[in-house]
């Protein structure tokens, strides 16, 4: 339909390209593409990307936790992943960005690791880092829309 050809009083419906994800256990929220389907409460996926949520408890500083994720012995991010120190929702964060030789079965997986503002209790354990595995193309969209819930 041509929006310029609308008559007064006619309505055009424009699809919303992003949905809002909220998880009270992990105390987070962010935006994700509407075309992704729920696989589980912590995993959404579509033909053009995905995200999965987890957390970890580590005595390491954020940068070391990110290096441990990026340089895992199975090389899930390829042989030369890039680590970027950044912020997300005003908190310290890092990105593990895959190199070109990342295994195809990893589906261009990148990681966003954020230091929680305070430890979060999940399944009777305290966690100080949030990790969001996400395809590389949607990494910044999710990082930039991330909020922490009270």
pLDDT at site 58: 87
pLDDT digits (tens, 9 = 90+) for 52-97: 999 999 888 999 999 999 999 999 999 999 999 999 999 999 999 9
pLDDT at site 80: 97
DSSP assignment letter at 103: -
Give the global pTM.
Answer: 0.88
pLDDT at site 8: 83
Query: What percent of the chain clears pLDDT 90, i.e. is strictly above it?
Result: 86
Taking Cα atoms as reference points, which of 37, 77, 51 lies closest to residue 146?
Answer: 51
Structure tokens at 4: 């310029």
Domain locations along the chain: 18-148
pLDDT at site 150: 84
14 pLDDT higher than 70: no
Q: Give residues with Cβ within 8 angstroms of 128, minimum separation 6.
A: 56, 57, 58, 115, 116, 119, 120
Q: Are the C-beta atoms of 146 and 139 separated by less than 8 Å?
A: no
13 pLDDT higher than 80: no
7: left (phi over 0), alpha (psi -120 to 50) or beta: beta
3 pLDDT higher than 80: no
Phi and psi at 102, nearest 5°, equal -60, 140
pLDDT at site 94: 98
How far apart are the C-alpha atoms of 82 and 62, rounded to whole Å? 15
């Amino acid at each position: 339909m041509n929006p310029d050809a609308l008559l007064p009083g006619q309505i055009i419906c424009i699809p919303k390209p992003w949905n809002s994800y909220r998880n009270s256990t992990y105390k987070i929220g962010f935006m994700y593409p509407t075309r992704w389907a729920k696989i589980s409460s912590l995993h959404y996926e579509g033909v053009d990307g995905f995200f999965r949520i987890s957390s970890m408890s580590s005595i390491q500083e954020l940068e070391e936790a990110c290096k441990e994720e990026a340089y895992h012995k199975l090389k899930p991010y390829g042989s030369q992943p890039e680590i970027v120190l950044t912020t997300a929702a005003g908190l310290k964060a890092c990105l593990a960005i895959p190199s070109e030789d990342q295994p195809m079965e990893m589906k261009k997986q990148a990681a966003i690791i954020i230091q929680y503002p305070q430890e979060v209790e999940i399944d009777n354990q305290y966690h100080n880092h949030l990790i969001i595995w996400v395809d590389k193309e949607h990494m910044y969209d999710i990082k930039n829309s991330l909020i922490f819930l009270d």
